[in-house]
C-alpha cells in the first residue's frame, strides 16, 4: 500500500515543506523526487515531493495534489539527499533549494514517447521463437509485444489507456527493454524575437508598475530576453511591451533560436596530443582514484597553458570506460561551448552524447538537455554552476575547472557554492572530484597541503613554452616623467604600438565599465547617487545617461549640480568606454573593439567579438574581467592591466587574493602560441605582495604570505564566516528588526562565535532596501550553524519576516 500523504517543497521563500494528500487515482505514481502540481493559497504551484508520509497530519483542512508531472521522478534519491544537505548547510529555504535543482517547466507540450530498445526487440523475438521468459510477468511481455507491433511511437498517457501499471512500465525501462523519450511538439520556430531595454533620452518620465517590472527584468535581473519569456516573467500583456517599443523604451530584433555557435559543431576535429610526462602523471593519479572506486578530491594545480583540459578529457574518458558518468563544471557560459565541443568530439560518437547546461539556454533547450541526462541518453554533462544538479546517475567524476572563480557562488537564494556542492555530491555518490586551477583558492590549497585533497602539479606550459614575462609600470614614476594623467602609461603605449607594427595582438584590461564611474560637483562636493542604492551613478557616454550598476536605474546626464545648481559638474574615474575612446585616438590605424557587459549584451555579440579577435580581424581588445578567463588566443603578445589597484582597495579580506588571481589569469592569456608574451601591470603600489607575487607568477609564495595574514586575522580557512543581512524598504523596520535580532545574538557572542554588528552594511541601501549587517565568525562551523538556525527560529517567534533576513554562509563578498 503506497503512502497517502507526501511532503512537498514548493517554490516559496519559506523554510518549510507542505503536506498534501495523494488522491486515490494518483497513488503509486508519486514517489520522492516526483514533480507535482499542488494548490497553494489561490494558485497552483509546481513542487517536488521530498518525502512520503504514512500517517495523516492533524490538520483537517489538508489539500490534495492535483497532478503528477513525472512518470520517472525528476530528482534521483541522491539529489534529494544533496538538496537536504544544502538546506542544512546554507540555511536556505527548502522550496527555493529544490526549485534550483529542477528542470524548467516549459510551456511547450512535451510529447513523451515509449520506444522499444534493441534489448526489448530481441526479447520479443525470443519470446515469439518460443523461448520461455521466466523473470517477466505476462503483462510486461504483453506490453512489449504490443509495442513491437505498433508502427509509430506510442505516446505516454494514462496507465489505463496504455494497459500497463506504472510500476511495470518503470521496471521495463530500468531493465533497458524500453525507453521513454521526450520530444517537442510542433511550434518549432527557427527564430525568436528578442527584446532589450533601450531607455529613452527623456528619462524623467515616470514608469508605471508594469513597465518598471519589464525594465528591471531586461536590465539588472536578466538582460535581453525572448518576447515570450519576458511576458511570462513580467506577467504583463503583449500590449504593454508593444507600447513600450513604440515609446522608445525598448528595442527588439529577431535572433536564431540555435545561433551559429552551435556547441555541437559536428565538423570539429580536436587536436590529438599525446600527454606529456607531467600530464601523464596527473592523469595516472586520477586513474588510481577510480581504481579505488571511492570518494576523493584531487586538486590539479597547473600553470596557465599547462594543458589541464587534456587531463580533464582523459579523465572523463576513463570514467566512461568504467561505465560511469561525468560532470564538468566551468565558470562561464563561453567555456561550456568550448569544452562542450571538445567533449562532443571525443565522446559524442561512442556514448549517447554530451549535454550542455547553462542559463543562456532557453527553457525549452534546457529542459531538453536536462531530460536527455535524466533518461540516461547523455552521460557527460558540461555546464555552469547549476549543472552541479544535473540528474546523472552512476556518477564517477566531477570536474570543477578554475575552481577559484567567484561565479561558482550563487549570489541569490539559495546562496550555495558550486564547487563545495560538487565535493559533497561526489562524496554522496562515491565519485572523484577533480578541481583544476592555476591559482587555487586559499581554502582549497590549504586542504591540499593538509592532505585532505590529493595535490597534482603541472609546473610548466606544454612544449616548454615560457610563461609571459611580467613587468610593473609604477604609475608614480610614470607621472613624474610625463605629468600626464592618461591611464595609458608611456610603456603601455609603446607596447601597443609595437604590437601594431609587428601584427600581433594586445589585450587591455580595465575593471570598470562605462565612461566615468563617478560624477561630482566641484562647488558643493555632492556626488550623484542612485535613487535606490547608496552607490555612485556611472556615466555612459554613448547612451548619454547615468546608470546604476546595481539596480539598473537611469538618470539624465546633469548639466548642473542637482544639489546646488553649480555648473561645475566633474566626471571622474575612467571606465572601459572611455579607455576605448582614448585607444582609438592614440592608435588611429588600429582595429579596436571593446568587450564588456555593455557591448556583449547577448551571447551572439559576445561570440562575434571574441571570434573576430581570435580570427585576427582585430588588433586590440579592451575590456573587463571577461577577457581574463580561459580563452586560448594564439597571437596575443601583450597584455596590459590599466589599474591593478582598484581591486586591492576594496573593503574585503579577499582583496589581495582576488587581485593576485586576476593578474595571474590575465597574464596567462599572453604568449600561448609560438610567440612569447609580455604583460604590463600598472600600479601605484608595486610593493604589495599580491602584485609582486603575480609578477613572479609565484603561487606558493603568495599562498604562504596570504595564509599568514588569514591566520593572524582569524579569517577563512582558519574560521567560518556567515554574513546576515536584515533588510527592508522601510528604514524603521530594518532598524527595529536588526535591534531585536541583536538581542538574540548578544548573549551568545564570544561563546565560540564572534558576532559583529548590527552595523550599516557597506551597501547601506540597495534596490530601495535599507540594509543592516551582522558578521559571524567561528573556528567551529557547527557552532555557527547552530546559532544561525536558532536565530532563524527566533525571527519566526518575534515577527521578523523570514524574507527580511538573508543568510550568506561562506560569503565571498561582504557588501
Ligand atoms: P590550461 O587550461 O592549463 O591553461 P589548455 O588545456 O588550454 O591549458 O592547453 C593549452 C594548449 O596546449 C591548448 O592549445 C592545447 O591544445 C595544447 N596542448 C595540450 N596538451 C598538449 C600536449 N601534450 N602537447 C602539445 N600541446 C598540448
Ligand atoms: Zn553642487
Ligand atoms: Zn541603484
Whether the per-residue pLDDT at 347 is higher than 80: the answer is: no
Could you read off the pLDDT of 523-578 as tens digits, one per residue? 888 888 888 888 889 999 988 999 998 888 888 999 888 889 898 888 888 999 99
pLDDT band of residue 228 (cuts 50, 70, 90) is: confident
**pLDDT, average across residues 670-689:** 88
Structural contact between residues 13 and 803, judged by C-beta atoms closer than 8 angstroms: yes
308 lines ligand 1 (CB under 6 A): yes
Of all residues in the chain, the percent with pLDDT exceeding 70 is 92
Q: Would you say residue 308 has pLDDT above 60?
A: yes
Lowest mean pLDDT among 119-128, 187-196, 301-310, 437-446: 187-196
Of 21-35, 64-78, 80-94, 530-544, the range with the highest mean pLDDT is 80-94
Higher pLDDT, 601 or 106: 601
275 CB within 6 A, ligand 1: yes
Mutate to test the pocket of ligand 1, among 275, 279, 301, 310 (most ligand atoms within 8 A of CB): 310
- In this structure, the residue with its CA closest to atom 5 of ligand 1 is 307
Q: pTM for the full model?
A: 0.80
pLDDT (mean) for 259-271: 49
User: Residues 239, 211: contact at Cβ < 8 Å?
Assistant: no
What pLDDT sits at residue 712? Answer: 93
Decide: 649 and 422 in contact? Cβ < 8 Å. Answer: no
> How far is ligand 1, taken at its centre, from the CA of residue 304, in Å?
9
Classified as helix, coil or strand, 765 is: strand
Ligand with smallest separation from the Cα of 548: 3
Nearest C-alpha to atom 14 of ligand 1 is from which residue? Answer: 632
Q: What angle do CA 322, 324, 326 make, to 5 degrees?
A: 125
β-sheet with 191-197: strand ranges across = 225-226, 191-197, 250-256
Q: Using CA atoms, how far apart are residues 772 and 227, in angstroms rounded to an integer?
A: 37
Confidence of residue 790 (pLDDT cuts 50, 70, 90): very high
Give the pLDDT confidence score for residue 182 in this predicted structure: 57
User: Looking at per-residue confidence, does 649 or 737 come out higher?
Assistant: 737
Whether the CB-CB separation of 269 and 449 falls below 8 Å is answered with no
With beta carbons less than 8 A apart as the criterion, state whether 705 and 692 touch.
Answer: no
- Per residue in 469-527, pLDDT tens? 899 999 888 777 777 778 899 999 999 999 999 999 999 999 889 999 888 888 888 88
Establish whether residue 304 lines the binding site of ligand 1, counting it when its CB lies within 6 angstroms of any ligand atom.
Answer: yes
Q: Does the beta carbon of 310 sit less than 6 angstroms from any atom of ligand 1?
A: yes
pLDDT over threshold 80, residue 630: no
Cβ contacts of 349-355, under 8 Å, gap ≥ 24 = 350/320, 351/320, 351/379, 351/380, 352/376, 352/377, 352/378, 352/379, 353/377, 353/378, 353/379, 353/380, 354/264, 354/378, 354/380, 354/381, 354/382, 355/380, 355/381, 355/382, 355/383, 355/390
Residue 539 CA, ligand 2 centroid: distance in Å: 17
CA separation for the pair 218, 195 (Å, rounded): 8
When pLDDT is cut at 50, 70 and 90, the band that residue 57 belongs to is confident
Question: How far apart are the C-alpha atoms of 125 and 216, rounded to whole Å?
Answer: 60
Q: Is residue 591 classed exposed, middle or buried when 0-12, 13-18 and 19+ CB atoms within 10 A define those classes?
A: middle
* Max CA pair span of the chain: 99
Q: Are 133 and 126 in contact (CB under 8 A)?
A: yes
pLDDT above 90 (res 269): no
Helix (H, G, I), strand (E, B) or coil at 626: helix
Question: Do β-strands 720-728 and 805-809 pair in parallel, antiparallel, or remain unpaired?
Answer: antiparallel
pLDDT tens per residue, range 724-776: 999 999 999 999 999 999 999 999 988 899 999 899 998 899 999 999 999 99
Q: Which atom of ligand 1 is nearest to the CA of 312?
A: 6
- When the pLDDT of each residue in the chain is averaged and rounded to a whole number, the result is 87
Query: 151-202, pLDDT tens digit by residue?
Result: 777 877 766 677 888 888 888 888 888 887 655 443 444 556 778 888 754 5
110 burial (CB, 10 Å; 0-12 / 13-18 / 19+) is middle
Cell 579577435, located at residue: 613
pLDDT at residue 50 in the model: 96
Minimal-distance CA residue to ligand 1 atom 13: 307
User: Residue 185: its pLDDT value, please?
Assistant: 47
CA distance 43 to 31: 23
The cell 588510481 sits on which residue? 288
Predicted confidence at residue 728, as pLDDT, reads 96
632 within ligand 1 shell (Cβ under 6 A) = yes
For 692, counting Cβ atoms within 10 Å of its Cβ (0-12 exposed, 13-18 middle, 19+ buried), the class is middle
pLDDT for 134: 65
Q: Is 665 in the pocket of ligand 1 (CB under 6 A)?
A: no
Question: Rounded to the nearest 5°, which phi and psi values hold at 763?
Answer: -95, 85
Task: Say if CB 737 and CB 728 are below 8 A apart.
Answer: yes
pLDDT at 119: 86
Report CA(149)–ligand 1 centroid distance (Å): 52
Count of C-beta atoms within a 10 Å radius of residue 160: 9
Dist CA 418 CA 384 (whole Å): 9
Of 462, 634, 675, the one to substitute when testing ligand 1's pocket (max ligand atoms within 8 A of C-beta) is 462
Q: Which atom of ligand 1 is nearest to the CA of 302?
A: 3
Question: What is residue 361's predicted lDDT score, i.e. its pLDDT?
Answer: 81
Cβ-in-10-Å burial (0-12, 13-18, 19+) of 250 comes to: buried
Least confident residue range of 43-52, 107-116, 437-446: 107-116
Report which protein residue has its CA nearest ligand 1's atom 22. Answer: 273
Residue 31 has pLDDT above 70, yes or no: yes
pLDDT tops 90 at residue 690: yes
CB-CB neighbours of 31 under 10 Å: 18
Ligand 1, closest atom to CA 306?
A: 3
Q: What is the pLDDT of residues 592-625, one digit of tens each?
A: 999 998 888 777 788 788 889 988 999 999 998 8
Q: Count of H helices and E strands in the chain?
A: 24, 33
Amino acid at each position: 500500500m503506497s503512502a497517502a500523504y507526501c511532503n512537498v517543497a514548493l517554490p516559496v521563500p519559506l523554510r518549510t515543506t507542505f503536506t498534501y494528500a495523494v488522491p486515490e487515482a494518483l497513488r503509486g505514481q508519486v514517489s520522492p523526487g516526483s514533480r507535482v502540481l499542488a494548490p497553494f493559497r489561490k494558485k497552483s504551484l509546481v513542487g517536488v515531493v521530498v518525502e512520503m508520509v504514512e500517517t495523516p497530519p492533524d490538520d483537517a483542512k489538508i489539500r490534495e495534489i492535483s497532478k503528477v508531472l513525472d512518470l520517472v521522478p525528476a530528482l534521483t534519491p541522491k539529489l534529494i539527499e544533496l538538496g537536504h544537505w544544502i538546506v542544512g548547510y546554507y540555511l536556505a529555504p527548502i522550496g527555493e533549494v529544490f526549485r534550483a535543482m529542477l528542470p524548467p517547466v516549459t510551456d511547450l507540450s512535451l510529447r513523451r514517447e515509449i520506444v522499444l530498445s534493441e534489448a526489448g526487440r530481441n526479447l520479443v523475438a525470443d519470446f515469439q521463437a518460443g523461448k520461455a521468459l521466466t523473470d517477466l510477468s505476462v503483462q510486461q511481455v504483453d506490453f512489449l509485444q504490443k509495442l513491437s507491433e505498433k508502427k509509430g511511437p506510442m505516446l505516454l498517457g494514462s496507465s489505463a489507456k496504455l494497459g500497463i501499471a506504472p510500476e511495470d512500465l518503470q521496471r521495463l525501462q530500468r531493465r533497458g527493454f524500453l525507453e521513454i523519450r521526450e520530444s517537442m511538439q510542433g511550434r518549432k520556430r527557427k527564430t525568436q524575437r528578442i527584446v532589450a531595454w533601450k531607455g529613452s533620452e527623456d528619462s524623467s518620465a515616470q514608469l508605471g508598475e508594469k513597465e518598471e517590472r519589464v525594465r528591471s527584468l531586461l536590465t539588472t535581473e536578466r538582460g535581453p530576453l525572448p518576447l515570450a519569456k519576458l511576458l511570462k516573467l513580467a506577467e504583463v500583456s503583449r500590449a504593454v511591451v508593444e507600447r513600450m517599443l513604440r515609446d522608445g523604451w525598448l528595442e527588439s530584433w529577431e535572433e536564431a533560436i540555435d545561433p551559429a555557435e552551435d556547441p555541437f559543431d559536428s565538423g570539429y576535429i580536436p587536436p590529438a596530443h599525446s600527454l606529456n610526462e607531467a600530464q601523464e602523471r596527473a592523469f595516472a593519479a586520477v586513474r588510481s582514484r577510480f581504481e579505488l572506486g571511492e570518494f576523493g578530491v584531487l586538486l590539479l594545480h597547473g600553470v596557465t597553458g599547462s594543458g589541464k583540459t587534456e587531463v580533464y578529457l582523459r579523465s572523463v574518458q576513463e570514467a566512461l570506460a568504467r561505465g560511469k558518468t561525468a560532470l564538468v563544471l566551468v565558470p562561464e557560459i563561453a567555456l561550456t561551448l568550448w569544452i562542450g565541443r571538445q567533449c562532443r568530439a571525443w565522446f559524442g560518437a561512442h556514448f549517447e552524447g554530451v549535454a550542455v547546461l547553462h542559463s543562456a539556454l532557453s527553457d525549452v533547450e534546457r529542459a531538453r538537455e536536462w531530460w536527455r541526462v535524466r533518461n540516461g541518453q547523455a552521460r557527460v554533462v558540461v555546464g555552469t554552476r547549476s549543472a552541479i544538479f544535473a540528474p546523472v546517475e552512476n556518477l564517477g567524476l566531477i570536474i570543477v575547472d578554475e575552481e577559484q572563480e567567484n561565479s561558482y557562488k550563487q549570489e541569490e537564494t539559495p546562496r550555495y557554492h558550486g564547487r563545495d556542492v560538487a565535493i559533497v555530491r561526489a562524496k554522496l555518490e562515491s565519485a572523484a572530484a577533480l578541481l583544476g586551477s592555476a591559482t587555487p583558492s586559499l581554502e582549497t590549497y590549504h586542504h591540499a597541503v593538509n592532505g585532505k585533497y590529493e595535490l597534482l602539479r603541472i609546473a610548466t606550459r606544454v612544449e616548454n613554452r615560457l610563461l609571459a614575462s611580467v613587468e610593473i609600470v609604477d604609475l608614480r614614476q610614470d607621472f613624474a616623467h610625463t605629468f600626464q594623467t592618461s591611464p595609458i602609461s608611456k610603456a603601455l603605449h609603446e607596447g601597443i604600438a609595437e604590437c601594431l607594427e609587428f601584427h600581433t595582438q594586445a589585450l587591455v584590461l580595465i575593471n570598470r565599465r562605462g565612461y566615468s564611474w563617478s560624477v561630482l560637483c566641484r562647488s558643493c562636493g555632492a556626488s550623484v547617487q542612485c535613487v535606490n542604492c547608496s552607490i555612485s551613478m556611472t556615466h555612459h557616454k554613448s547612451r548619454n545617461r547615468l546608470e546604476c550598476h546595481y539596480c539598473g536605474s537611469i538618470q539624465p546626464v546633469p548639466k548642473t549640480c542637482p544639489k546646488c545648481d553649480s555648473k561645475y559638474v566633474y566626471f571622474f574615474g575612467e571606465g572601459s568606454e572611455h579607455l576605448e575612446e582614448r585607444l582609438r585616438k592614440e592608435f588611429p590605424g588600429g582595429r579596436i573593439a571593446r568587450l564588456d557587459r555593455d557591448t556583449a549584451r547577448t551571447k551572439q555579440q559576445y561570440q562575434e567579438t571574441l571570434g573576430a579577435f581570435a580570427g585576427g580581424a582585430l588588433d586590440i581588445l579592451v575590456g573587463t574581467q571577461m577577457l581574463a578567463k580561459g580563452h586560448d588566443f594564439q597571437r596575443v603578445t601583450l597584455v596590459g592591466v590599466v589599474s591593478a589597484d582598484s581591486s586591492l582597495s576594496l573593503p574585503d579580506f579577499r582583496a589581495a587574493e582576488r587581485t593576485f588571481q586576476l593578474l595571474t589569469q590575465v597574464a596567462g592569456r599572453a604568449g600561448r602560441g609560438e610567440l612569447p608574451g609580455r604583460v604590463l601591470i600598472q600600479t601605484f603600489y608595486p610593493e604589495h605582495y599580491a602584485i609582486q607575487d603575480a609578477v613572479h607568477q609565484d603561487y606558493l609564495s603568495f599562498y604562504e604570505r596570504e595564509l599568514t595574514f588569514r591566520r593572524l586575522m582569524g579569517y577563512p580557512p582558519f574560521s567560518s564566516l556567515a554574513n546576515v543581512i536584515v533588510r527592508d524598504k522601510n528604514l524603521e523596520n530594518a532598524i527595529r528588526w536588526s535591534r531585536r535580532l541583536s538581542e538574540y545574538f548578544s548573549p551568545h557572542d564570544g561563546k565560540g562565535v564572534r558576532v559583529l554588528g548590527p552595523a550599516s552594511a557597506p551597501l547601506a541601501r540597495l534596490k530601495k532596501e535599507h540594509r543592516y549587517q551582522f558578521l559571524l565568525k567561528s573556528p567551529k562551523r557547527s557552532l555557527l550553524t547552530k546559532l544561525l538556525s536558532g536565530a532563524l527560529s527566533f525571527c519566526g517567534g518575534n515577527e521578523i519576516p523570514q524574507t527580511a533576513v538573508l543568510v550568506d554562509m561562506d560569503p565571498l563578498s561582504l557588501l
